[in-house]
Amino acid sequence: MSLFDKYDQVAARHDRLVAAGRDPFNICMDRIVSATEAIVDGREVILVGTNNYLGLTFDQDCVDAAVAAVKREGTGTTGSRIANGTYSSHRALEQEIADFLGRRSALVFPTGYQANLGILAGLAGSKDVILLDADSHASIYDGCRLSGATLIRFRHNSPADLDKRLSRLKDKEGGKLVVVEGIYSMLGDQAPLDEFVDVKRRHGVELLVDEAHSLGVFGENGRGIAESAGVEEDVDYVVGTFSKSLGAVGGFGASDQPAFERLRYTSRPYMFTASSSPSSIATAMATLGKIKSGPHLRKQLWDNARMLYQGLTDLGFTICAETSPIVAVKMPGEAAAVFMWNALLEAGVYVNLALPPGTPDGSCLLRCSLSAAHTPAQVTKVCDVFDQCFQALRSWQDAQSAAE
């Protein structure tokens, strides 16, 4: 028996997806043209699935900052933060993040995934309980498992269910940590954070908010859902990533807790991995400066998001959440979703294909994410291509029915 035999069913499903067209999980961008365009299989494609919310990956100031950092500090650190991997730039970025969020301190990680691993595994232990939203990202689940804490899921975006589960734990010893996301990456729906804060206060527990997809997007200053909801003082821990709005690679955790700095010598995912490259740190520093400079990028992003949401809604598509930079189009089934995804790419529009079990409620989705860098003409073209491809889908479905 092979160690890979357990993947036979998954591999068979993958083979069926590939047989229907391209491999949706192995698309190669032959060349990146801009924040919103690429060449795929020799064809120009509008990118509507990159999470590049503020479109800063080609911003000249940010590119120049990354190039200067490579020339000044080299291509990599070759060491962990507890060895030779802490540069003055790492500490400077941590201070900038803490200041931006109004927090006492911040820790920087090489990826957003590791930020969740490091913060969750560092905060909770075997005698503690973590209560997390059932639709939480895989990195949150993995961080919870790594912590060894008791893991309790509550219904997605349900403060009432969280309240009920916390009531059952009132006599249990150990710390209790509630984990939610600001905006959920698959559907683009927002956490009712003010209501979660009410539950948190009643039970005297701590709250962690993952602002990965909301940092730079929500709030008057771009600090995320907590700022937008006016509850920043009630959020004990903030986790985020550089790979969305900040256009780099890395992640962070931040807090006002005086003991938070202890994670530097107790959190294994922080201690035992090489630190972020100088170019990633410099890029994050530069893009953070762009967010702090004013709301113009957020305004353009939201204008584009509303335009796509309205355009697809007018065409009769079902959108899974209210307007946000994530516009998830619900398809009637896997075959229809796969056909549409291939047709869209063939027509020059790249979106994310999202299928069960990686989606909430077993939904089959075409997930779009908007950018401040998209032009109105590009958004209009995306809507037109969706319409054309849907007409092709209906013809294909009619042919399939006739063949049966």
- pLDDT single digits (tens) 337-346: 999 999 999 9
Integer Cα distance of 338 and 321 in angstroms: 21
For residues 220 and 227, give the distance between their C-alpha atoms in angstroms, rounded to a whole number.
Answer: 7
β-pairing, 364-369 vs 352-354, is: antiparallel
Where on the phi/psi map is residue 329: left (φ > 0), alpha (ψ -120 to 50), or beta?
Answer: beta
Asked about 185 being catalytic, the answer comes back as yes
Q: Give me the catalytic one of 90, 200, 213, 290.
A: 213
Under the banding of pLDDT at 50, 70 and 90, the label for residue 323 is very high
Predicted local confidence at residue 119, as pLDDT: 98
Average model confidence (pLDDT) across the chain: 96
Q: Averaged over 322-345, what is the pLDDT?
A: 96
Q: pLDDT digit string (tens) for 8-29? A: 999 999 999 999 999 999 999 9
Q: pLDDT category, 170, cuts 50, 70, 90?
A: confident
Write down the catalytic residue from 137, 176, 244, 290.
Answer: 244
Task: Express each pLDDT in 107-140 by its tens digit.
Answer: 999 999 999 999 999 999 999 999 999 999 999 9
- Judge whether residue 404 has pLDDT over 80: no
pLDDT at 402: 83
Which residue has tokens 């006739």? 402
Q: What digits encode the pLDDT tens for the residues 65-109?
A: 999 999 999 999 999 999 999 999 999 999 999 999 999 999 999
Whether residue 299 lies in the annotated active site:
no
pLDDT, tens digit (0-9, with 9 covering 90-100), for 29-51:
999 999 999 999 999 999 999 99
284 CB-near residues (< 8 Å, 6+ apart): 93, 242, 246, 248, 250
> Which tokens belong to 202?
């009643």
Question: How far, in Å, CA of 310 to CA of 314, rounded?
Answer: 6
The verdict on whether omega for the bond into residue 24 sits within 30 degrees of 0, i.e. cis, is no
Whether 90 is catalytic is no
Residue of 136, 147, 185, 245 marked catalytic? 185
Are the C-beta atoms of 234 and 197 separated by less than 8 Å? yes
Domains recognised in the chain with CATH numbers: 12-47+295-403 (3.90.1150.10), 58-292 (3.40.640.10)
Q: What is the pLDDT of residue 52?
A: 98
Triad 90, 95, 97: Cα angle to 5°? 95
Q: Is the model more confident about 261 or about 294? A: 261
Give the span between the Cα atoms of 298 and 181, in whole angstroms: 20
The percent of residues above 70 in pLDDT, for the chain, comes to 100
8 A C-beta contact, residue 100 and residue 223: yes
SS3 385: helix
The amino acid at residue 145 is R
The whole-number pLDDT of residue 35 equals: 98
Q: Which helix (H) or strand (E) holds 131?
A: strand 129-133
Q: What pLDDT is stored for residue 361 in this prediction?
A: 85
Whole-model pTM: value is 0.95
**β-sheet bridge partners, residue 241:** 251
CB-based contact 208:119 (threshold 8 Å): yes
- Of residues 303, 287, 292, the one with CA closest to residue 371: 303
Band of residue 401 on the pLDDT scale cut at 50, 70, 90: confident
> What distances in angstroms separate CA 41 from CA 31, 334, 341, 367, one per listed residue?
10, 24, 15, 21
Q: For the sheet containing 364-369, what is the strand order?
A: 318-319, 326-331, 364-369, 352-354
pLDDT for the residue numbered 385:
98
Which backbone phi and psi does 176 adopt, to 5 degrees? -130, 125
Strands lying side by side in the sheet with 31-34: 31-34, 37-40, 43-47, 349-350
> CA-based angle 265:146:90, to the nearest 5?
40
Convert the pLDDT of each residue in 216-249 to its tens digit.
999 999 999 999 999 999 999 999 999 999 999 9
